[in-house]
Amino acid sequence: MTSAPPLTGPAFDVLSRVFGYSGFRGGQHEIIEHVIAGGDALVLMPTGGGKSLCYQIPALVRPGTGVVISPLIALMQDQVDALRTLGVQAGFLNSTQEAHERRRTEQQFLAGELDLLYVAPEGLGSHATQRLLDQGRIALFAIDEAHCVAQWGHDFRPDYLNLSMLHERWPDVPRIALTATATSATREEIATRLDLTGARHFTASFDRPNIQYRIVGKNEPRRQLLDLLRTEHKGDAGIVYCLSRASVEKTAEFLTQQGIAALPYHAGLDAQTRASNQSRFLREDGLVMVATIAFGMGIDKPDVRFVAHLDLPKSVEGYYQETGRAGRDGLPSTAWLAYGLQDVVQQRKMIETSDGDAAHRRNLGAHLDAMLALCETVQCRRAQLLAYFGQAADPTCGNCDTCLNPPESWDGTVPAQKLLSTVLRLQRERGQKFGAGQSIDILLGKTTEKVTQFRHHELSVFGIGTELREQEWRGVVRQLLAQGLLAVEGDYGTLVLTDASGSVLRREREVMLRREPERTRAPRARRASSGSGGAAPAADLDAAGAAAFERLRAWRASAAKEAGVPAYVIFHDATLRQIAALQPGSLAELSTVSGVGENKLAKYGQPVLEALAAG
């Protein structure tokens, strides 16, 4: 995947002239040349890694129109606007269009006037769309968000299953399927379902060095989130993920009351409200979107500075995909997760009551186990995350919480035996099952109303656990659940023993647990290269540069509002920072900045120079 791109050739010419980049990143060049030559490709590349260039450049080089199959109907207009700003002729066909708008796009396609045409998978299934494509010249098919085809993936879309017909109907048109996350098993499923078993596989590094991964124990999570936003991300754009619609609403309301501009997004809102909130998030600076996982796929906002989870994600794939929406511009960003005992109980219960057969539940359980292992590890989070996707990494990254503030592991065998004995005695001696709270109260020797009512103070285990605090006992319960040494059942999340519990009670198995370190303020995340091509690292600015950057941001906001597009469509923050650092005095100098292509130079060059000169 590493090859030095030549400084000449059609692909490099498009990269430089249209997109304004001086070189390719990672494996982009190899993928692009393979598709230009007519080859099929399955591409795994992290969010912010420049996947879109891998089909956009071949579409501009090859004769005909590149057809992009995307599930993101609500974002197609923004994607097309961004391309048009670069001087690329782009259009889309989806259910949001008026009849006359659709006819105009169809006519442009038939006349060979479009470089790229975006269609939804549902639309591609219609005979009318298929007949239309039969009449034009197709440069390639790009299947974006290809993980949507995987039944066990984190965002399955049934319409993707029909996309194997592309090869059957248009056998000579190259296809490129792209996703930001997939294990080797999911990769094989994508290839099989899309009839891409003969395609070349390209896997870029999943590492996002500019993202700082942090997982904290839950203790009033909304207050913890507020502290994060006020101390580290004041005025920043970010996404907060919650499991339920009710939690989304309450969290957005809480943040708003605390003076933080926050909007809700979930499937229970009407379509107009969802579209309006999404549009505001893309177009305004510093907004926080509080959402269920229904939000975010395909969001191309480069300056999302943090992604926070107030509930445990169901899988590592989902977690990686969601956290990857932070820091697409390569600037320092935070992935923060608050995680507690109730998350484990809730997720286990959801699996137990889920639709599907035993194999389906086993698969969900395996996904959750991997996520729990990431939460409970005492090793580097990044190394464990990359290992999940089959990639080797340094044992320490220096930019996650376990590297910056290493936790201890401790021998929790005796506390584990005490807790398991309590669950066992409740069931054997009293024929009762309770949740974690009652077992902890018994161990701590608390004479609560429920303890007295059920005479649990008479149990031999009453008061034998005073060496740990309540919060520490909750950590023990959580970690035993994570290790499969305890289980939950029923609507009330009662604790029960597992087949593995006996080995601990019989002293045949040692139980190592994680002790949370004392909380310290985390340093800012590291910076990585920015932009979709081979952009240079974003510049550090002195006082004059910082003032110039703010003037450029103000000009960009005005230009974006006038054009009716998100600000990042004009220029990314990273590009503005480089302009502010360089302080170009001519269009020729400005053209050397990464991200300033031919069309943007002609359209925005003079206003940029004027904004700089105004200082």
CA dist list (Å): 32 to 11, 70, 531, 532, 533: 7, 19, 17, 14, 12
Alpha-carbon distances of 490 from 95, 303, 450, 487, 496, rounded to whole Å: 43, 43, 20, 10, 10
Is residue 111 within 8 A of residue 132, CB to CB? The reply is no
Distances (CA, A) of 473 to 58, 170, 418, 436, 476: 57, 61, 11, 9, 5
Q: Which two tokens stand for residue 546?
A: 């910082």
Instruction: Convert the pLDDT of each residue in 60-91 to its tens digit.
Output: 999 999 999 998 787 888 889 999 999 999 99
What confidence tens digit (pLDDT) does each residue in 83-133 have? 999 999 999 999 888 999 999 999 999 999 999 999 998 888 889 999 999
Count CA within 13 A, CB hemisphere, residue 134: 8
Task: Show the tokens assigned to 198.
Answer: 């003969």
Report d(CA 464, CA 449) in Å as an integer.
19
**Does residue 522 contact residue 212 with C-beta atoms inside 8 Å?**
yes
Q: How confident is the model at residue 517 (pLDDT cuts 50, 70, 90)?
A: low
Query: Which tokens go with 1?
Result: 């995947």
For the ranges 149-158, 235-244, 297-306, 528-537, the lowest mean pLDDT is seen at: 528-537
- Average pLDDT, rounded, for the chain: 89
Mean predicted confidence (pLDDT) in 7-31: 90
| Highest mean pLDDT (candidates 164-168, 405-409, 437-441) | 437-441
Report in angstroms the alpha-carbon separations of 244 from 250, 290, 340, 353, 426.
Answer: 10, 11, 16, 17, 33
Half-sphere exposure of 18 (CA within 13 A, CB side): 23
Query: How far, in Å, CA of 245 to CA of 267, rounded?
Result: 8
Token pair 């048109």: residue: 173
> Look-up: residue for tokens 């098993």?
185
Question: Angle at CA 325, nearest 5°, toward 375 and 362?
Answer: 45
Using CA atoms, how far apart are residues 394 and 445, in angstroms rounded to an integer? Answer: 46
> Which positions ≥6 away from 337 have C-beta within 8 Å?
214, 215, 216, 308, 309, 312, 313, 319, 375
Question: Residue 571 and residue 514: Cα distance in Å, rounded?
Answer: 45
Beginning with the edge strand found earlier in the chain, give each strand of the sheet holding 65-69 in spatial order.
Answer: 90-93, 116-119, 65-69, 138-143, 175-179, 41-44, 200-203
For CA atoms 453, 457, 458, 460, give the dihedral sign: positive
What pLDDT shows up at residue 396? 93
What secondary structure letter does DSSP report for 400?
B
Per DSSP bridges, beta strands 41-44 and 90-93 are unpaired
Rounded to an integer, what distance in angstroms lies between the CA atom of residue 176 and that of residue 201? 10
pLDDT of residue 354: 82
Residue 539, classed as helix, strand or coil, is: coil
In 425-548, the DSSP E strands lie at 486-489, 494-497, 512-515
Amino acid at 529: S
CA distance 32 to 414: 58
The model's pLDDT over 414-437, given as tens digits with 9 standing for 90+, comes to: 999 999 999 999 998 888 999 899
Query: What band does 378 get if pLDDT is binned at 50, 70 and 90?
Result: confident
End-to-end CA distance of the chain: 45
pLDDT at 536 over 80: no
Cα–Cα distance, 138 to 267 (Å, whole number): 35
Which domains does the chain show, CATH number per domain? 10-203 (3.40.50.300), 211-339+377-407 (3.40.50.300), 410-515 (1.10.10.10), 543-613 (1.10.150.80)
The tokens 């006038």 sit on which residue?
A: 562
Statement: residue 404 has pLDDT above 60 = yes
Give the model confidence (pLDDT) of 335-360 as tens digits: 999 998 889 888 888 888 888 788 88
Q: Tell me the sheet residues that pair with 513.
A: 410
Helix (H, G, I), strand (E, B) or coil at 51: coil
Please, are residues 228 and 287 in contact by the beta-carbon 8 Å criterion? Answer: no
3-state secondary structure at position 476: helix
Q: How confident is the model at residue 152 (pLDDT cuts 50, 70, 90)?
A: low
**What phi and psi values does residue 434 have, to the nearest 5 degrees?**
-135, 165
pLDDT per position as a tens digit, 158-215 = 788 888 899 899 999 999 999 887 777 888 888 999 999 899 999 888 899 999 999 9
Q: Please give the Cα distance from 384 to 374 (Å, whole number).
A: 7
- pLDDT, residue 293, reads 86
Predicted confidence at residue 4, as pLDDT, reads 47
Q: What pLDDT was estimated at residue 528?
A: 55
| DSSP codes joined into one string, 80-127 | HHHHHHTT--EEEE-TTS-HHHHHHHHHHHHTT--SEEEE-HHHHTSH
pLDDT at 29: 94
What is this structure's pTM? 0.82
Helices (H) and strands (E) in the chain, counts: 27, 17
Which parts of 509-542 fold into alpha helices (H)?
none
pLDDT at 283: 87
pLDDT of residue 521: 53
Burial 163-199 (b: 16+ CB within 10 A, else e): beebbeebeebbbbbbbbbbbeebbebbbebbbbeeb
Q: What token pair was written down for 109?
A: 């396609």
Each residue's pLDDT tens digit, 555-599: 999 999 999 888 889 999 889 999 999 999 999 999 999 999 999
pLDDT at residue 247, rounded to an integer: 96
Is 303 within 8 Å of 329 (Cβ atoms)? yes
Q: pLDDT tens digits, residue range 458-484?
A: 999 999 999 999 989 998 998 998 888
- Measured in residues, the chain has a length of 615
